[in-house]
Amino acid sequence: RFLGVKGRVTHIEMRVEDIYEARRIAREVEEVLGPPFYARDWMEMNRNLFSALRMERRVMFILLSLVIGVAAFNIIGTLTMTVMEKRRDIAILRSMGASKGRITRIFLLEGLLIGSLGTLLGTAGGLLLAFNVEGIAHFIEGLFGFQFLPGDVYYITEVPSRVNPWDVVAIVIMGLLLSLLATLYPARKASRLDPVEVLRYE
């Protein structure tokens, strides 16, 4: 029954094999039927839900960017401490003829190695989590006795996970690029050390 109307069809639901083709199929149905009929796909009917999910994704991007920023500052701090600890060694290398460019390259390489190791470990851990998120969720639910996505509250009861290869590549490139940028200040600081001033107090 719909507003007391009996024996009349008010709408027809269609199921499609590929849910991502629903919008195109809805437009084709509208063209075939013509006015006053119209078709709405599942994304249009749940527009508010998807808007909330997009907002959540933006917030997650901001939070992850802050985490990456903290990691970059950790690299800067680590290499700066290394420069301070290796002042004498750097001064000896400079006095033996090592150029400022060579000293810079040494610290750039060290920072890039640290960043590469962290990026690879983080990517591997993220992929491992993404591919096993359902099993991990079930384990935590059984361990603490609660359900992440109750069926009576959410539309889904399982944690979906889809790995986009291009997202993985972009994350790796961004991680390596930030690692390289984070080493510029310590490397420049190391190359500007005056060997005469350093060795005078050693």
Q: What is the pLDDT of residues 111-147, one digit of tens each?
A: 888 888 888 898 899 899 888 888 887 788 788 777 7
pLDDT of 1: 43
pLDDT of 124: 92
Same domain, 104 and 169: yes
Same domain, 31 and 52: no
Same domain, 15 and 102: no
Same domain, 30 and 67: no
- In angstroms, rounded to a whole number, what is the distance separating the alpha carbons of residues 148 and 164? 24
Distance separating the N- and C-terminal Cα atoms of the chain: 93
pLDDT of 154: 62
Cα separation values, 147 from 142, 155, 158, Å: 8, 14, 10
User: 127-156 b/e with 16+ CB inside 10 Å = b?
Assistant: eeeeeeeeeebeeeeeeeeeeeeeeeeeee
The two structure tokens encoding residue 188: 């420049």
Same domain, 103 and 151: yes
Nearest to 190 by CA among 119, 109, 113: 109
The two structure tokens encoding residue 181: 């940028």
pLDDT at 32 over 70: yes
> Tokens 């629903």 appear where?
22
pLDDT of 151: 63
DSSP for residue 19: G
Same domain, 40 and 113: no
Same domain, 74 and 151: yes
What's the mean pLDDT in 24-50?
81
Same domain, 66 and 30: no
Task: Report the SS3 class of residue 3.
Answer: coil
What's the mean pLDDT in 181-193?
84
Count of structural domains within the chain: 2
Boundaries of domain holding 13? 1-45
Cα 22 vs. chain centroid, distance in angstroms? 28
Same domain, 16 and 99: no
Same domain, 28 and 126: no
CA atoms within 13 A on the CB side of 108: 12
Same domain, 35 and 75: no
Same domain, 79 and 94: yes
